Amino acid sequence: MDLGLKDKVIIVTGGSKGIGLGIVNCLADEGALPVIVSRDQKSMETVVNALIARGIKASYVHAELTDAEACIAAVNHTFDHYGRIDGLVNNAGINDGVGLEKGNHQDFMRSIQRNLTHYYLMAQACLPYLKKSKGSIVNIGSKVAETGQGNTSGYAAANGGRNALTREWAVELLKYSIRVNAVIVAECFTPLYEKWIASLPNSEEKLKSIEAKIPLEQRMTTAAEIAHTVAFLISDKSSHTTGQLCYVDGGYTHLDRAL
């Protein structure tokens, strides 16, 4: 299916690694013009140079997403360069392990800032341009908001907020025909996930035990599978879909894992 994304300008936060990189590559394959916004200059340069070598007009903007002014500047720079913005994928974040029993107020608030606040900042900065293009927003979220995980209060709260904002913005932006949806991830085998597994004792056994709890095919979700759903939701092919939380997780969140 041609998603009609050719020459569409799509901002992807955290788009140089893991799930974000999968999204950027998928958008590029669909002919879009992905713009990565991140603080990781080196990885952004590597990704964008590889895409340019393929003839894709990708670009990046260096920004610290916890800085409101940096978010605004990144969006405005993108518009100044391309003259339009057709979509925003809020993806950047980290499961930073700020729990209740051993956490503290400062770390909790920092986790919210790192994992939720910039979703709002980026969406607000993009809004004037999305009104013109009748573009769309996709927020990447985590099953932690539904299932809990333990020892990650900040990340769980931020993901609950991502889900709530998805539906709140979908309502608020109806009058502009701007659609807002979320893709919820459970167990996706990114380099960061692989690093975490490798740090555990009996890492191979641990990975197998996790995979055994994923109902569909007892395997991890791939970044490409997440990306394909994101590309569909950001495109006009999903033109009557808004306010939805789409779980791309092999049934992990809602199916009986006793299966």
Looking at the annotation, which residues are catalytic? 155
Three-state secondary structure of 86-124: CEEEECCCCCCCCCCCCCCHHHHHHHHHHHHHHHHHHHH
Q: How confident is the model at residue 62 (pLDDT cuts 50, 70, 90)?
A: very high
Whole-model pTM: value is 0.97
pLDDT(257) > 90: no
Domain ranges of the chain: 9-186+222-246, 187-220
Rounded to whole angstroms, the Cα distance separating 76 from 234 reads: 20
Share of the chain above pLDDT 90, in %: 93
Instruction: Report in angstroms the alpha-carbon separations of 101 from 28, 51, 96, 105, 108.
Output: 44, 45, 15, 11, 12
Q: Are strands 87-90 and 59-62 parallel, antiparallel or unpaired?
A: unpaired
What tens digit of pLDDT does each residue of 5-15 get?
Answer: 999 999 999 99
What tens digit of pLDDT does each residue of 15-46 get?
Answer: 999 999 999 999 999 999 999 999 999 999 99
Q: Can you say how many angstroms the Cα of residue 94 is from the centroid of all Cα atoms in its chain?
A: 11
Q: What is the mean pLDDT of the chain?
A: 96
What tens digit of pLDDT does each residue of 124-155 get?
Answer: 999 999 999 999 999 999 999 999 999 999 99
- Mean pLDDT over 158-166 rounds to 98
Neighbours of 72 (CB within 10 A): 16
- The amino acid at 55: G
Fold of 9-186+222-246: Rossmann fold (3.40.50)
Phi-psi region at 19: left, alpha or beta (left = phi > 0; alpha = psi -120 to 50)? alpha
- Mean pLDDT over 221-240 rounds to 98
